């Protein structure tokens, strides 16, 4: 009888070990679909995430979408993860989806200490333009233009709200929509020629960090100012794909880290994923807190798999 009990216990333990060696997530979780809205900071952190997921045996997919399409896609379950929920500027974009519970905002945020707003060159601020309230009297010097980025961006929408608010006396001003690169080209050209220009600015950003800029006051009530960035996932993702969801929820970044990765993309035109891979190889211990409680897709050692991929 004692021998029989021993054999049964051994069999049970073997079953547990076999179970642990099986996939950590269901096969339906193997493809991890990310939204990338085309901002360099989101491109590089998405690059980090895809390198990690691929090293763990998942198959990452990245789709470049506008902010509105990103949220519609999360709701429709066509996208799993979005690492770029900038708050409070994106409050109007994300709130309907949080309220109907089709999108989840993970806590804590993946980046703190960021900033977002409207900037002018420092020499313009030195000339007296330090607030939204100072713009109306200087319309001609700015040619009545705000330079923004891609259509559908939350910052562009806020600028339109500022223009439309009667108290700002900005009737007749226009928003010039472009891309991050296009806007920066205009800014660099204006600053080189000591011209007046008004455009979207944010931190972290290595190129803007090298420019002598001043953030305008009077914008906090519209959603600009100090910013915090959250990770969004489709509803139920962490429950459906617990291991993948754990990795996503572990991801934390900082301003220095993102700035170091954004530089080569913006200045040298390098691929964001390749830059992320190079950064991870140079900073291998950065992955340790991200991999806590995480396994490979087939239930193996996550740290060993990532370490092997980074060699």
Domains of the chain, residue spans: 27-113+227-309, 115-226
Answer yes or no: CATH 3.40.190.10 is held by domain 27-113+227-309. yes
> What is the structure's pLDDT at 23?
67
pLDDT tens for each residue of 288-303? 999 999 999 999 999 9
Residue 115, by phi and psi: left (phi above 0), alpha (psi -120 to 50) or beta?
beta
The pLDDT value given to residue 220: 94
Contact 114, 107 (CB under 8 A): no
Q: Average pLDDT, whole number, for the chain?
A: 92
Residue of 241, 205, 245, 200 whose CA lies nearest to 89? 200
Concatenating the DSSP letter of every residue in 141-154 gives: HHTTEEE--STT-H
Q: Is the pLDDT of residue 8 over 70?
A: no
Give 29-59 pLDDT, tens digit per residue: 999 999 999 999 999 999 999 999 999 999 9
- Nearest-angstrom CA–CA distance, 76 and 59: 20
Q: pLDDT by residue (tens digit) across 174-218?
A: 999 999 999 999 999 999 999 999 999 999 998 888 889 999 999
How does pLDDT run across 134-178, given as a tens digit for each residue? 999 999 999 999 999 998 899 999 999 999 999 999 999 999 999
pTM: 0.85
Q: Do domains 27-113+227-309 and 115-226 have the same CATH topology?
A: yes
Q: Which fold has domain 115-226?
A: D-Maltodextrin-Binding Protein; domain 2 (3.40.190)
């Amino acid at each position: 009888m004692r021998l029989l009990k021993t054999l049964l216990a051994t069999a049970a333990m073997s079953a547990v070990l076999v179970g642990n060696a099986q996939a950590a997530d269901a096969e339906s979780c193997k493809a991890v679909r990310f939204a990338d809205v085309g901002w360099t900071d989101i491109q590089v952190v998405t690059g980090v995430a895809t390198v990690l997921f691929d090293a763990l045996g998942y198959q990452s997919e990245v789709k470049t979408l506008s902010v509105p399409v990103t949220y519609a896609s999360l709701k429709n379950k066509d996208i799993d993860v979005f690492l770029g929920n900038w708050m409070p500027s994106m409050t109007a974009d994300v709130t309907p989806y949080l309220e109907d519970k089709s999108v989840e905002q993970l806590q804590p945020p993946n980046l703190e200490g960021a900033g977002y707003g409207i900037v002018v060159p420092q020499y313009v601020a030195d000339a007296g333009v330090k607030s939204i309230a100072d713009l109306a009297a200087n319309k001609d010097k700015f040619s009545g233009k705000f330079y923004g980025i891609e259509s559908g961006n939350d910052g562009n929408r806020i600028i339109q709200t500022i223009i439309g608010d009667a108290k700002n006396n900005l009737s007749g001003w226009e928003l010039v929509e472009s891309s991050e690169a296009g806007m920066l080209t205009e800014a660099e050209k204006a600053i080189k020629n000591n011209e007046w220009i008004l455009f979207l600015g944010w931190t972290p950003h290595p190129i803007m960090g090298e420019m002598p800029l001043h953030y305008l006051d009077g914008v906090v009530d519209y959603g600009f100012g100090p910013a915090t960035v959250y990770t969004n996932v489709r509803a139920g993702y962490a429950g459906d794909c617990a291991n993948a969801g754990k990795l996503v929820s572990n991801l934390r970044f900082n301003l220095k880290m993102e700035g170091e990765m954004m530089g080569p993309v913006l200045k040298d035109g390098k691929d964001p994923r390749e830059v992320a891979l190079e950064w991870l190889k140079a900073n291998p211990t950065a992955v340790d807190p991200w991999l806590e409680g995480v396994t490979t897709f087939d239930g193996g050692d996550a740290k060993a798999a990532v370490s092997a991929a980074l060699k």
